[in-house]
Amino acid sequence: MRNRTHLNSQVSEIVGITQRQVLSWTEKGLIVPFKESTGVGTKRGYDYINLLEFGLCKRLFSLGFGFRAVKKMLNDMRNIGMISNWANDFTEYYREIFERHKSHLDKQVRELESKGDIKKVEKLKEFKKKFIQESCYYPDKPRGVIAYFFSEEGGQPLVIPWDMETILNLNIIKQAFIKNDSGLLVDISKIKEIIDSKL
């Protein structure tokens, strides 16, 4: 299912956009097809990751983002392989994200311990434990919300392994929004669910 490539008309039907949008978003560089047309008689082919990217574009445009903003977000995610890494092996993706941020979280724990703030230390330790454990609980139905911050301090976009309600209640996410002034949360697992139901 995931190894198949899809033509323009199939992408349109699966994602729920027009064939003109498929063509336009590709020609304007929002989507980089898995297989490019090489001349007369050959057609572009879009893979599973392309389908997720089309679904994300559709969602971002429906939220009112303009072309330039959507292209920047997609390019930022594509440059670090975020969507493909998450979709291909979400458990390994979450392990890598956790390891990347572990030293920062450990530093925060040490700072809070030195201040004697035991309550915050326990919350942060619980966050660390929950992050890696919960990402492995749903092997057949991965959960994930894209966190994207618009400021330079926001760091790389990433997919967080919980549902939207859990994420909105996390202090670490609230702090990130306060620190960066603006950001975006998009439930990529819902986009994936819709696409998977059409395949």
**93 shares a domain with 23:** no
Phi-psi region of 145 (alpha: psi -120 to 50; beta: other; left: phi over 0): beta
**35 shares a domain with 55:** yes
pTM of the full structure: 0.84
Write the pLDDT tens digit of every residue in 169-183: 877 778 778 888 788
Q: Is the pLDDT of residue 57 over 60?
A: yes
In the prediction, which pLDDT does 153 show? 64
**177 shares a domain with 102:** yes
Q: Which residue has the higher pLDDT, 125 or 185?
A: 185
Write the pLDDT tens digit of every residue in 148-159: 998 766 568 989
**151 shares a domain with 55:** no
Into how many domains does the chain fold? 2
Segments forming the whole domain that contains residue 16: 8-78
Q: Is the pLDDT of residue 2 over 70?
A: no
**93 shares a domain with 134:** yes
Mean pLDDT of 44-49: 94
Q: Structure tokens of 46?
A: 């879009």
Domain assignment present for 132:
yes
Longest CA pairwise span in the chain (Å): 70
Domain assignment present for 130:
yes
